A and B are shown apart, each in its own frame.
Chain A
Amino acid sequence: MDHNGNYKNEFGWFADKPKVPKKLFNFKAVFIGVVIFVVLVTSPLWKNLGQVIPGPDPQLNTAAIMKLPEKDRTCVESKEYMRANHMLLLGEWRDEVVRDANRDYVNSKGKKYLASLSNNCMECHSNKSQFCDQCHNYVAVVPNCWGCHWEKEKEKKQVAQSEAK
């Protein structure tokens, strides 16, 4: 059947009427359907209309970082690089550590670091709620690191709380 509703058999094309008598293109139904679809798809926009959502403003100066001398306050790579690629780098660390037993990372300047999220990154950036969550919440991504890796900040607080009791 071509787009005009014509049929073909071995003798050529025939402009037969389709054998289903029902009208398939019902303008009203299609119109209502399209409207519902558009409203549903754009609903997040409507919901947030007129609201100003403040951008993330994470406080990165944890005690662990402030303890370091000024010149050592650098991450494993440059700030720009980390902003753009931290998820790729972490994925790479994960594979190197788990699959190839390479637990140390030598950065582009030749300096060596322990390739570990919980036991290295989060030692300096010990404030997950600021360092990770602020931006992730803002852009609505949910990395699933924390189902397995400990949020030490939270755990230590809980331990302290239960001990206080």
Chain B
Amino acid sequence: MLEQAFVGTRKYYGLLAGLGFLIALGALGYYQQLTTGLGITGMGRDVSWGFYIAQFTYLVGVAASAVMVVLPLYLHNYKAFARIAILGEFLAVAAVTMCLLFIVADLGRPDRLFNIIKYPTPGSVLFWDMVVLNGYLILNIVIGWNVLEAERNDTKYKPWVKYLIYVSIPWAVSIHTVTAFLYAGLPGRGFWLTAVMAPRFLASAFAAGPSLLILLCLLVRAFTKFDPGREQIQTLAKVVTYAILVNIFLFFCEIFTVFYSQIPEHMMHFKYLFVGLEGKGQLVPFMWFSMVGMIVAALAMVVPKVRENENTLAWACGLIILTTYIDKGLGLISAGFIPNPLEHITEYWPTGLEAMITLGIWATGFFILTVLYKIAVSIKEEVRA
């Protein structure tokens, strides 16, 4: 099957070359970071996690959302999703790879990476995150590959694959739950100290991930002979609709608890995000755009006419991806650190080099995604020919 990755049109190679260029740029930036230290980023002693960890958090959600295709297919025997399950699984592979790369990019001493395995510490959530992310990566590669190969050979996949699929469903939930637990169990960070962190992560993931999948399906239809199918896209759209509504609901649950209780340690972070503190509030316009945009998109998705028209659907999905990205990728991580535990306010904004490395990792993910989708789509085309 891998041979399919090496035969393609000029457009395919052009895309890979473009992504390859971005990867090279990112690698250059990373080399600079390795030699002079993480000081090249905008992070500091007060905001000690930044863009990298935020991307990681967002992408764990994208990865976990594959389960929204896998679960209806294998647990509810919703046959229509058999056509696109592989797209969800391969999206998960690319997303988890990016997650792992972002973690490595964030480490001060990547040369000692394997200390996590050498001195395993089950009390640390980060240890478990390493376990579940790597496990999820392997699960999706093995499952995706075997199912696709069986489809190509016009056979049924081997029985043991079925068990792996069953395991992969709760596993997908676990990766985002464990990632939420990274933040939600820290005593000094009022912003993160909330039990709805994991549920909210899952809700926003199940909105953003399938939205991305819808856009990818539309792209696949536009550029290849394989049509992921109208019904499939519509079902995904309903998943997105409910998930984004739940996400907004949970956000307001949080707002209620924080502002009705009036506990300053919890309120001050929300105040920083939405009105600014002591004249510092560079995220304020972003956060308002994010929340208003998210609500607008959610309401639009509820209207059947909007959802059923694939043009307006694409716009709504794009808006959901953007707004959840701002919420999780910009606001969530830095606001946990602002103000700091001593109530000093130091703001954070990523530097150019940091953005370049980030872009390089995204390009790596899309490189992997392009190759995997190329394989999957070629085989789908071949089977249907």
What residues of chain B lie closer than 8 Å to A48, measured between beta carbons? none
Question: What is the interface residue range for chain B against chain A?
Answer: under 10
Whole-angstrom distance between the Cβ of B15 and the nearest chain A Cβ: 20
In the bound complex, do residue B3 and residue A20 qualify as a contact, i.e. CB atoms below 8 Å apart?
A: yes
Chain-A contact segment, one of B45-53, B97-105, B151-159, B318-326: B151-159
User: Is the Cβ of A10 less than 8 Å from the Cβ of B155?
Assistant: yes
Contact partner of A9 (CB less than 8 A), chosen from B3, B7, B153, B382, is: B153
Are A20 and B156 neighbours in the complex by a CB distance under 8 Å? no
Instruction: Encode B137-165 as 1/0 by CB contact (under 8 A) with A.
Output: 00000000000010001111000000000
Q: Which residues of B contact A8 (CB under 8 A)?
A: 153, 155
Does any Cβ of A come within 8 Å of B257's Cβ?
no
Q: Cα distance A7–B382 when bound, in Å?
A: 15
B224 part of interface (Cβ distance < 8 Å): no
Q: Chain A: which residue is nearest B150 at the CB level?
A: A9
B3, B153, B154, B382: which contacts A24 (Cβ < 8 A)?
A: B3
User: Is B351 an interface residue when CB atoms closer than 8 A count as contact?
Assistant: no
Query: Interface centre among A7, A10, A19, A24, by most B CB within 10 Å?
Result: A19
Contact flag A22-B3 (CB < 8 Å), given A7-B153, A10-B155 = yes
Complex: A19 Cα to B382 Cα, angstroms: 8
In the bound complex, residues from chain B placing their C-beta under 8 Å from that of A7 are 153
Residues of A near B4 (CB, < 8 A) are: 20
Chain B residues near A30 (CB-CB < 8 A):
none
CA distance A24 to B2 in the complex (A): 11
Q: Does A1 contact B (CB under 8 A)?
A: yes
Interface residues of B in 280-311 (CB under 8 A from A): none
Q: How far is the CB of A68 from chain B (nearest CB, A)?
A: 38
8 Å CB contact of A20 from B7, B153, B154, B155: B7
A10 contacts across to B, CB distance below 8 A: 155-156
Instruction: Give B327-385 interface residues, CB cut-off 8 Å to A.
Output: 382
State A9–B382 Cα separation when bound (angstroms): 16
Chain A nearest Cβ from B381, distance in angstroms = 10
Residues of A near B153 (CB, < 8 A) are 1, 7-9
A69 and B381 alpha carbons, distance in the complex (Å) = 85
CB neighbors of B among A2-31 (8 A): 7-10, 19-20, 22, 24
CB A132 to nearest CB in B, in angstroms, measures 20
B149 contact set on A, CB distance < 8 A: 1
- Whole-angstrom distance between the alpha carbons of A1 and B4 in the complex? 15
Q: How far is the CA of A10 from the CA of B382 in the complex (A)?
A: 19
| Contact pattern, B 181-222, Cβ under 8 Å of A = 1, otherwise 0 | 000000000000000000000000000000000000000000
| A residues lining the B interface (CB < 8 Å) | 1, 7-10, 19-20, 22, 24
* 13 A-B pairs with C-beta separation under 8 A: A1-B149, A1-B153, A7-B153, A8-B153, A8-B155, A9-B154, A10-B155, A19-B382, A20-B3, A20-B7, A20-B382, A22-B3, A22-B7
